[in-house]
């Protein structure tokens, strides 16, 4: 199954989405990412019991912070899928790509503030 997904997506591997901290999400934006999606296992299927549930809470916190500083909270999203479900992965990534294209680039890029 050789499915393509948007080339704008850059994958960062983590052992479990429970490893993803709030600061990792924020630093991505600080370094110029236009959007971040955290892709965890299906809820209830976490190998470490609740890593994906923790990740969801952190994503929600990141959304709240981004809204407060004038970014759109929609730029960060949580997805859940089975690692063997390639078509769904492609669908999610295409959706994310479209969402971010509609929102436009990271606001700090237009002010030259990217670090």
Partner 1 sequence: MIVAKQKPLEEIIEEVKDFNRILIAGCNECVTVCEAGGRKEVAVLASSLRMYFAKEGLDRKVDEVTLQRQCDSEYLEEIRSIVDDYDAILSLACGAGVQFMAEKYPKKIVLPGLDTLFMGVTEERGVWSERCQGCGQCILSYTAGICPISRCAKRLLNGPCGGATKGHCEIDKDVPCAWNLIIERLKELNRLSDYEKLISIKDWSTERAGGPRRITREDVR
Considering the complex, state which of residue 32 and residue 87 has its C-beta at the smaller distance from partner 1: 32
For residue 114, give both structure tokens. 């990217």
Give the residue from 61, 65, 7, 72 showing the smallest Cα distance to 38: 61
Q: Which run of H or E residues covers position 63? A: helix 51-68
Residues 1-60 that bind partner 1 (CB under 8 A): 21-23, 26-27, 29-30
Smallest distance from the beta carbon of 42 to partner 1, in angstroms? Answer: 24
Considering the complex, state which of residue 3 and residue 22 has its C-beta at the smaller distance from partner 1: 22
Contact yes or no for 5/88 (Cβ under 8 A): no
Residues 67-96 that bind partner 1 (CB under 8 A): 68-71
Considering the complex, state which of residue 10 and residue 68 has its C-beta at the smaller distance from partner 1: 68
What is the Cα–Cα distance from 89 to 95, expressed in whole angstroms?
10
Smallest distance from the beta carbon of 99 to partner 1, in angstroms? Answer: 19
The site that binds partner 1 (CB under 8 A) totals a number of residues, namely: 19
What is the Cα–Cα distance from 67 to 72, expressed in whole angstroms?
5
Residue 96's φ and ψ, nearest 5 degrees, are -65, -45
Q: Which residues lie near partner 1 (CB under 8 A)?
A: 21-23, 26-27, 29-30, 65, 68-71, 107-108, 111-115
């Amino acid at each position: 199954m050789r499915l393509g997904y948007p080339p704008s997506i850059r994958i960062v591997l983590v052992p479990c989405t429970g490893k993803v901290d709030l600061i990792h999400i924020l630093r991505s934006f600080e370094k110029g990412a236009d959007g971040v999606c955290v892709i965890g296992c299906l809820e209830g299927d976490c190998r470490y019991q609740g890593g994906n549930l923790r990740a969801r809470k952190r994503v929600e916190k990141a959304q709240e912070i981004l809204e407060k500083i004038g970014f759109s909270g929609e730029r960060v999203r949580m997805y859940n899928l089975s690692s063997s479900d390639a078509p769904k992965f492609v669908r999610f990534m295409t959706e994310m790509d479209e969402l971010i294209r509609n929102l436009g680039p990271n606001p700090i890029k237009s002010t030259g503030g990217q670090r």
